[in-house]
Chain A
Amino acid sequence: MRSIKNLSAAEILQRFSAPIILLVLIVFNALFTRNFLSINVLWNAIMQSSSIMFVSLGMMVVIASGGIDISVGSTLGFGSALLVITSYAGGDTNSLLAVIVPVIGCALVGIIQGLIIAKFKIPPLIVTLAFQSLIRGIAQYCTKGKVLVLRDPLLNELGYLKVGGTSIPIQLVFIAIAILIFYILTKKMAFGSRIEAYGDNPVASRIVGIRTFQLVTLVYMISGIACACGSILETTRIQAADSSMLGLNMEMDAIAAVAISGTPLTGGKIRIWGTVVGVFITQLITMTVNMNNIQYEYSLLLKGAIIFFAILVQKSKEKTKKGLRQVVQNG
């Protein structure tokens, strides 16, 4: 790999397109949005992006394996419903249980999806689509369609806990932990390269000796657990569980974040830092819209335009690479 010094300006623009877009968004906001340049805005951004960070990192693993998970939003709502119901069930000692139950529940959801996908070789899009409806229904059944308020002293506090007397929200720690776990999982363990191999060529990876059945199941389980973590963060922040609204259309945000990172949606690549940047970009778009009082309809247009632009820049990168390869092959 060449060092950054030898790259031309265009190549730098393409390789670092996601951070550059993030930077442009920040500069734009600093210039045109009132009150943007305060530390509270940053902490707010961190708090709000914590759950989507978990979900997007899970989605990144699924997409790298050549699949896709449409059910993440519903799973998030399901986890949230489980958390509040468990916290209702008993006395004070239930806080730990209330955190564990959603993780187990969502992991089970992921395992079932993974088993169906791996066993029957059905396209993941369809299976997770069916589960999106199914899990949303079960989540609503759990709460009987109502919004349940979180009444657990420990968990209520968790959402607004600060780190050691400073104004740093606890969510920053969780984000760091999430990135660390996924970094170790995908970059430091064989698991990561197995996923990339499977995403690139499922048949070849099976012939090579990778246990693809287990791998696929595990991938969707990870996505489920990530959703559970996201639901815990989201529920403790909102202090309530709205099983019918929570996580609605979140799969689109997560897919957009992964796509902005330059991860090919056909699988085979894991870009962890790109995904992190992608999450912050989608979050910043939402914040820009909210802080400038832009109407909902224009925010949709803006979001679409930014995602499209980000993808286009990355596509031109792939094109130049392909062109180079052809030149090498021909000449």
Chain B
Amino acid sequence: MASKKGLKLKLSSFIPFITFLMLFMVSIIGNSKFLTMNNINNLVRQSTFNGIISIGMTLVILSGGIDLSVGSVLACSGALSAILCQYNTVLAVVIPIIFGLAIGLFNGFAVAKLKVPPIVATLVSMLAARGLAYIFLAGNSLGIPKNAEMFLFLGKGKLFDILPFPTLIMAILFILFIWILKFTCFGRNLYSIGGNEEAARMLGIQVDKGKILAYMTCGLLTSIAGILITARVGSALPYAGDGYEISSIATVVLGGTLITGGKGRMSGTFWASLTMAIIANMINMQSVTEPWIQKIIIGAILIVIIVIQSPIIRKRYSSIAKLFIRKHTVKG
């Protein structure tokens, strides 16, 4: 019986993957051009930037918080890298990353030490960083000069002429953070902090440090995404990344992470980021030009998926708890 329960558990933890697979099948059946090399490339590219940000968002949400500032930080670090890449490629990568870390430090410090609610603290940095992005760019878009080849390679370059550089980075980051969440103190501590902060504190876990690190990692990853997206598009816009916070939160939740924190998986976030890209791709492939149709479809699909997923995911967590209790009561 235990093995049957275990099988069920294993199956239900694949829900984000199954969702992705089903949408993938629907796309293949519904669209003959879906499985072309070009379209698959597009699909992967669309998921890249949202995917990188969602990694950081997963950490923050796991720790019981939320980060609304990602869109603004993306615009800001993109602006910084566009300004600096005229002088030095290394600077154009390092300075935005430091900026992202600084915003993350501010968020983390405000949430962990000053006890400001996460949604307000990151709302403040969202406003401030958006203002800074406009100040850096003086309200205009800034193109990247053609001679900054090294920098442009970051966004447009391809490894072995097939794998885009940003996609490679996304893949590395996902593997790295799946490992971090599973096997490092930092990762395991995040689960305890998000699950029960008081209990974590009493167990001797450095709650404040964990939270600050989570927000800083989110800032770091967002600024990496900002650099890559600027290099990819070839220009920086002050209003770039508007709405990214929403789509990355949606991605994390689709990936099966509890919005209240403490429970979730990085692999789920990975499949969910592909799912989001497929939804966008489906709409693009139908050549729907009206923006309202896109909004309605995205909203409706999100609601349907969330409603279908929620009882399954809830059941999974409660049955994990039951299994755990049974195991330990039998042994004890």
Contact = CB atoms under 8 A, between A and B. Distances in A.
B296 A129 contact: no
Interface string A114-136: 00100011110111011111111
B117 interface: yes
B216 interface: no
A130 B133 CA distance: 27
Given A137-B296, A141-B292, A305-B128, A297 B310 contact: no
Interface in B217-238: 238
B291 A140 contact: yes
Contacts of B238: 297
B303 interface: yes
Interface string A141-171: 1000100000000000000000000000000
A259 to B, nearest CB: 5
A301 B299 contact: no
Contact of A301 (B117, B128, B259, B290): B128
Given A127-B306, A131-B303, A315-B116, A137 B293 contact: yes
B307 A265 contact: no
A312 interface: yes
A245 to B, nearest CB: 12
Contacts of B294: 137
The interface residues of chain A, by DSSP majority, are classed as helix
A121 B291 CA distance: 30
Given A307-B120, A312-B114, A126 B259 contact: yes
Contacts of A305: 124, 128
Given A120-B307, A259-B120, A315-B115, A304 B249 contact: no
A132 B290 CA distance: 17
A159 B114 CA distance: 43
A137 B299 contact: yes
Given A141-B292, A311-B120, A318-B115, A301 B127 contact: yes
Contacts of B127: 252, 300-301, 303-304, 307
A255 interface: yes
A266 B117 contact: yes
Contacts of B249: 125-126, 129
B310 A120 contact: yes
Contacts of A318: 115
Contacts, number: 147
B130 interface: yes
Contacts of B310: 120-122
A273 interface: no
B139 interface: yes
Contacts of B66: 125
Nearest to A307: B124
A223 to B, nearest CB: 17
Interface size class on chain A is 35 or more
A121 B314 contact: yes
Contacts of B120: 255-256, 259, 265, 307-308, 311
B253 A297 contact: no
A314 to B, nearest CB: 9
A296 interface: yes
Interface string B31-74: 00000000000000000000000000000000000100000000
Nearest to A264: B117
B291 A255 contact: no
Contacts of B259: 123, 125-126
A32 interface: no
Contacts of A25: none
Contacts of B128: 300-301, 304-305
| Residue of B128, B250, B290 with highest tally of chain A CB at under 10 A | B128
A304 B125 contact: yes
B295 A140 contact: yes
Interface string B121-132: 101111110111
Interface string A227-263: 0000000000000000010000000100110010000
B194 to A, nearest CB: 13
A141 B294 CA distance: 11
Contacts of A311: 116-117, 120-121, 124
B250 A129 contact: yes
A129 B246 contact: yes
B21 interface: no
B73 to A, nearest CB: 13
A126 B300 CA distance: 12
B298 interface: yes
Nearest to B249: A129
B110 interface: yes
B125 A132 contact: no
Contacts of A319: 115
Contacts of A296: 131, 134, 139
26 contacts: A116-B303, A120-B306, A120-B311, A121-B314, A126-B250, A129-B302, A130-B303, A130-B306, A131-B303, A134-B296, A134-B300, A136-B292, A137-B297, A255-B123, A265-B119, A266-B117, A296-B139, A297-B139, A300-B130, A301-B127, A303-B127, A304-B123, A308-B110, A311-B121, A311-B124, A319-B115
Given A120-B310, A129-B302, A136-B292, 7 more contacts: A120-B307, A126-B306, A139-B292, A145-B292, A304-B123, A304-B126, A312-B114
Interface of A: 68, 116, 120-123, 125-127, 129-141, 145, 244, 252, 255-256, 259, 264-266, 295-301, 303-305, 307-308, 311-312, 315, 318-319
Interface of B: 66, 110, 114-117, 119-121, 123-128, 130-135, 139, 238, 246, 249-250, 253, 259-260, 290-300, 302-303, 306-307, 310-311, 314
Instruction: Return the 3 tightest CB-CB contacts between A and B, nearest first.
Output: A134-B299, A137-B295, A300-B131
